[in-house]
C-alpha cells in the first residue's frame, strides 16, 4: 500500500509539473509572438497613458497593414534599440512634418493636425521640416512639452520593423481601451 501511495504522489507531481511547464511555455509564446506587455516609466503620453501604467500592444497589428497616423505604438528606441518606447505616430513615410508655433503640419498643409488628444497646448516652438524616409515614421508623445520624441532624437525616425505592436489597452491601474484614441 505504501508503494501504491508513492506511485500516486509521483504521478500527481508529474501531472502538476507538466501543467506548469505548459503554462509557462504558453505565456512565453503569447508574450513574444502575440503581445507586448510593458510598463510605461514616464509621463510623455499623459493623459492617455500615465507613468507606471501597464499596457498591452498587439504584435500582429501590422502584419497585413501599415501603421496609421495617430496609432499609439511600442517600438525600439532608434538611439538605443535595447529600450522600448511608447509614442503616437504623427508622420508617415514620404510626408514632410513641420511644427510651427507648437502645431503640427503635414506636407505644408494650411490646417494643423487635430491634436485634441494632447495634454495641454504645446509650447509655441518650431521644428523641422522633417521629411520622413520610406518605411519610417515620425513619433511624438501626447505630453508634447515634456516628451523626448522624434524632434530630439539623433536618429529621428522609427523604421517599420522596429515597431513591435499597436497599443490596445491600458490594464493597470484601471482599464482603458486605447486603440481608438
Beta bridge partners, 36, equal 57
**What sign has the CA pseudo-torsion 8, 12, 14, 18?**
positive
Q: Is-cis flag, bond preceding 47, omega within 30? A: yes
**Is the sign of the CA dihedral 79, 85, 87, 91 positive or negative?**
positive
Beta bridge partners of 73: 87, 166
**For this structure, is 109 an active site residue?**
no
How far is residue 161's CA from residue 134's CA, in Å, rounded to a whole number?
Answer: 12
Q: Catalytic pick from 18, 39, 87, 147?
A: 87
Rounded Cα–Cα distance for residues 131 and 179 (Å): 26
Q: Which one, of 141, 155, 138, 140, lies nearest residue 94 by Cα?
A: 138
44 belongs to the catalytic site:
yes
DSSP H helical segments within 98-174, as ranges?
Answer: none
The residues near 130 (Cβ < 8 Å, ≥ 6 apart) are 91, 96, 97, 98, 138, 150, 156, 157
Of 15, 18, 39, 44, the active-site residue reads 44
Any idea which residues carry the catalytic annotation?
44, 87
Amino acid at each position: 500500500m505504501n508503494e501504491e501511495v508513492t506511485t500516486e504522489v509521483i504521478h500527481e507531481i508529474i501531472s502538476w509539473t507538466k501543467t506548469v511547464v505548459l503554462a509557462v511555455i504558453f505565456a512565453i509564446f503569447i508574450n513574444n509572438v502575440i503581445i507586448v506587455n510593458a510598463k510605461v516609466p514616464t509621463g510623455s503620453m499623459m493623459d492617455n497613458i500615465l507613468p507606471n501604467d501597464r499596457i498591452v500592444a498587439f504584435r500582429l497589428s501590422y502584419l497585413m497593414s501599415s501603421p496609421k497616423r495617430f496609432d499609439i505604438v511600442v517600438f525600439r528606441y532608434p538611439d538605443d534599440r535595447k529600450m522600448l518606447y511608447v509614442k503616437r505616430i504623427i508622420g508617415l513615410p514620404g510626408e514632410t512634418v513641420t511644427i510651427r508655433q507648437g502645431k503640427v503640419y503635414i506636407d505644408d498643409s494650411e490646417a494643423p493636425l487635430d491634436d485634441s488628444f494632447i495634454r495641454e497646448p504645446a509650447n509655441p516652438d518650431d521644428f523641422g521640416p522633417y521629411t520622413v524616409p520610406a518605411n519610417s515614421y515620425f513619433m511624438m508623445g501626447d505630453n508634447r512639452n515634456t516628451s523626448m520624441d522624434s524632434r530630439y532624437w539623433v536618429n529621428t525616425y522609427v523604421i517599420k520593423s522596429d515597431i513591435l505592436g499597436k497599443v490596445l489597452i491600458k490594464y493597470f491601474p484601471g482599464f482603458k481601451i486605447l486603440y481608438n484614441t
